[in-house]
């Protein structure tokens, strides 16, 4: 038999012995750790004193401080004078202009913008920036080797925009009322571009009627600083008095571009509709009271009110028959054209240098300048058209139906281009379309 009391006493003894051994091991371990820590502290070098914040800031290198000056070239001022006005010495100005090969005193426009960057501790500029154009910057920098210039052309982004409008009074008013984000200045450019495109078919000053409508698809160029320019017209449609006249830009096999109507006929014709590019008509063909003679008589032509010196262009190819003084016409020019047409230009202030009897002139060529010689009370151009020796209403005589047709080899390609562009105009119905182009 086993003695249970003796067994219990032995078990408790063994447990007590194990507890004492565990405690002793822990005490030894802690002692070793403390001893090692003391040794480490004793042999660790002392940390340096932490400098004050103000001392740290004082020893930190300062970012360079730049002083900027902005100025523009005054009318009649030289570039050297502009540089000296912004604090550049005459010697340095000469060196800068010598390096800036893109600058020319004779052609620098008034208002040319200049920015000068100079370091705070320096008396000589480090950089000069000339804004040559909205998309062109000339930078002249100072280097160890002297002044060095860089001419940079800033990129333009090109897209297309479709605009539609209805004539109320003028083309300008219609474009102003159109729903488009083209700025006002560019809308005026678009009006002139349309007038130029249709100048062989439509006189924008007289032929347009209320409720005539137009649609146009045009390239729009967006430049730096938000600048907007109108590019080429790609396609357009004008409804004038119920008659639609389309104009589509087409590039032929010879890589040359031109505009053609819906029948594939060139928008260019034998005659321009008006002898002035920027025109404002003061009277039209018909009976009127002569402003000087004070009598009613047939006014065999059209008067175009314009400023003195406005260029007068020949309405077609021809030969100068007369250039000189002609009674009440004052200084006048007669140009003979094919098919018995003669165009006459009166009250001129002066003739172009090449306008002499027998000289050949081309359509659109400047032949004289608006004046008020002869029986004239104010500067204007008196314009006549004679057919077979008889005076004809210029508005009727110059109303051409179209120019030369496309060659047969180009008609299929033109039909595809026309279909694509006019379909785009139809879909847009006046809402801008922004089709990004590289």
In this predicted model, what pLDDT tens digit does every residue of 345-404 receive, in sequence order?
A: 999 999 999 999 999 999 999 999 999 999 888 899 999 999 988 888 887 888 766 788
The rounded distance, in Å, linking the Cα atoms of 125 and 90 is 13
Strand order in the sheet with 228-240: 157-166, 213-222, 228-240, 243-251, 257-260
Domains 66-153 and 157-269 agree in fold: yes
Fold (topology level) of 281-397:
Glucose Permease (Domain IIA) (2.70.70)
Fold (topology level) of 66-153:
Nuclear Transport Factor 2; Chain: A, (3.10.450)
pLDDT for 401: 61
- Report field, pTM of the whole predicted structure over 0.85: no
Instruction: Read off the pLDDT of residues 198-250 as tens digits, 9 standing for 90 and up.
Output: 989 887 877 888 999 999 999 988 887 778 888 999 999 999 888 899 999 99
The rounded distance, in Å, linking the Cα atoms of 284 and 384 is 11
157-269: CATH number: 3.10.450.350
The rounded distance, in Å, linking the Cα atoms of 405 and 421 is 20
Residue ranges per domain, the chain?
66-153, 157-269, 281-397
Tell whether the torsion through CA atoms of 193, 199, 203 and 205 is positive or negative: positive
- Contact between 236 and 160 under an 8 Å Cβ cutoff? The reply is no
pLDDT for 307: 87
HSE (side-chain half, CA atoms, 13 Å) at 186: 21
Which is nearest to 430 in space by CA: 163, 236, 238, 161?
163
- Contact between 112 and 72 under an 8 Å Cβ cutoff? The reply is yes
The rounded distance, in Å, linking the Cα atoms of 111 and 134 is 12
Largest CA distance in the chain: 165
The rounded distance, in Å, linking the Cα atoms of 431 and 23 is 91
Q: How far is C-alpha 253 from the chain's CA centre?
A: 29
Residues in the chain, pLDDT under 70? 1-64, 278-299, 400-401, 428-438
* Angle at 284 (CA atoms; ends 279, 288), nearest 5 degrees: 135
The rounded distance, in Å, linking the Cα atoms of 353 and 335 is 15
């Amino acid at each position: 038999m086993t003695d249970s009391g003796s067994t219990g006493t032995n078990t408790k003894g063994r447990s007590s012995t194990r507890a004492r051994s565990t405690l002793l091991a822990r005490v030894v371990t802690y002692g070793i750790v403390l001893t090692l820590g003391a040794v480490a502290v004793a042999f660790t070098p002392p940390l340096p004193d932490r400098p004050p914040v103000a001392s740290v800031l004082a020893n930190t290198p300062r970012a360079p401080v730049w002083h900027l000056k902005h100025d523009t070239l005054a009318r009649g001022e030289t570039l050297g004078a502009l540089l000296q006005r912004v604090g550049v010495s005459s010697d340095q100005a000469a060196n800068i202009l010598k390096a800036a090969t893109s600058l020319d005193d004779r052609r620098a426009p008034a208002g040319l913008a200049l920015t000068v960057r100079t370091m705070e501790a320096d008396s000589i500029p480090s950089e000069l920036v000339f804004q040559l154009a909205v998309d062109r910057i000339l930078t002249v920098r100072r280097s160890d080797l002297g002044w060095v210039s860089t001419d940079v052309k800033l990129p333009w982004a090109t897209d297309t925009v479709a605009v539609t409008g209805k004539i109320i009074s003028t083309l300008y008013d219609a474009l102003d009322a159109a729903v488009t984000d083209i700025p006002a200045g560019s809308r005026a450019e678009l009006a002139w571009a349309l007038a130029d495109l249709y100048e062989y078919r439509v006189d924008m000053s007289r032929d347009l009627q209320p409720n005539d409508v137009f649609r146009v698809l045009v390239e729009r160029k967006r430049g730096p600083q938000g600048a907007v320019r109108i590019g080429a017209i790609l396609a357009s449609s004008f409804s004038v008095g119920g008659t639609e006249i389309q104009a589509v830009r087409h590039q032929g096999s010879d890589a040359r571009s031109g505009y053609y109507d819906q029948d594939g006929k060139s928008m260019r014709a034998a005659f321009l509709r008006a002898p002035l590019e920027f025109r404002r008509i003061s009277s039209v063909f018909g009976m009127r009271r002569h402003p000087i003679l004070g009598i009613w008589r047939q006014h065999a032509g059209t008067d175009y009110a314009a400023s003195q010196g406005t260029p007068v262009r020949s309405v077609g190819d021809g030969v100068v028959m007369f250039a000189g003084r002609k009674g009440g016409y004052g200084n006048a020019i007669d140009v003979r054209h094919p098919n018995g047409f003669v165009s006459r230009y009166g009250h001129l202030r002066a003739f172009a240098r090449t306008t002499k009897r027998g000289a050949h002139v081309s359509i659109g060529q400047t032949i004289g300048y608006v004046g008020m010689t002869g029986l004239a009370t104010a500067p204007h151009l008196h314009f006549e058209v004679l057919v077979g020796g008889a005076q004809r209403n210029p508005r009727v005589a110059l109303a051409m139906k179209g120019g030369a047709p496309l060659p047969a080899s180009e008609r299929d390609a033109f039909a595809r281009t026309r279909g694509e562009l006019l379909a785009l105009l139809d879909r847009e119905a006046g809402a801008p379309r922004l089709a990004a182009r590289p």
